[in-house]
Amino acid sequence: MPAETAPSRNAGSSRSRETARRVLETEAEAVAALIARLDHGFDRAIELLSSCTGRVVLTGMGKSGIIARKIAATLSSTGTPALFVHPADAIHGDLGMLAERDLAVAVSNSGETHELVRLLPTLKRLGVPVIGLVGEMESTLAHYSDAVLNVGVDREACALGLAPTASTTAALALGDALAVVLSEQKGLRRRDFARLHPGGGLGSRLILVSDLMHRGDEIPKATASTSMKDVIDEISRKGLGIAGIVAEDGRLVGVISDGDLRRMLQSRGGSILACTATECMTPNPVTIGGDELATKALNLMERKRITSLPVPDADGRLVGIIHLHDLWRTQMF
At 152-168, the pLDDT tens digits run 998 998 877 778 899 99
What's the pLDDT at 1?
A: 46
At 33-87, the pLDDT tens digits run 999 999 999 999 999 999 998 889 999 999 999 999 999 999 987 888 899 989 8
At 257-290, the pLDDT tens digits run 998 888 888 887 778 888 999 999 999 999 999 9
Mean pLDDT of the chain: 87
Q: How far apart are CA 282 and CA 278, in angstroms?
A: 8
What's the pLDDT at 73?
A: 92
Check whether 211 has a pLDDT greater than 80. Answer: yes
Please give the share of the chain, as a percent, with pLDDT higher than 70: 87
DSSP per-residue codes, 156-202: -SSTTS-SSSHHHHHHHHHHHHHHHHHHHHTT--HHHHHHH-TTSHH
Least-confidence region, from 23-32, 73-82, 127-136, 298-307 = 73-82
What's the pLDDT at 241?
A: 92
Least-confidence region, from 21-35, 71-85, 136-150, 226-240 = 71-85
Contact (Cβ atoms closer than 8 angstroms) between residue 204 and residue 332: yes
Q: What are the backbone dihedrals phi and psi of residue 38, each rounded to the nearest 5 degrees, phi first?
A: -75, 95
Please state the rounded mean pLDDT for residues 128-132: 95
What's the pLDDT at 260?
A: 87
Q: What's the DSSP call for residue 88?
A: H
Check whether 221 has a pLDDT greater than 60. Answer: yes
At 175-199, the pLDDT tens digits run 999 999 998 888 766 555 555 555 5
Burial of residue 124 (number of CB atoms within 10 Å: 0-12, 13-18, 19+): middle
At 222-234, the pLDDT tens digits run 999 999 999 999 9
What's the pLDDT at 43?
A: 96
**Where is pLDDT greater, at 2 or 32?**
32
* Three-class SS state of 249: coil
What's the pLDDT at 26?
A: 93
CA torsion, points 197, 199, 203, 205, in degrees to nearest 10? 180
Contact (Cβ atoms closer than 8 angstroms) between residue 47 and residue 182: no
DSSP strand pairing (147-150 vs 103-108): unpaired
Check whether 96 has a pLDDT greater than 70. Answer: no
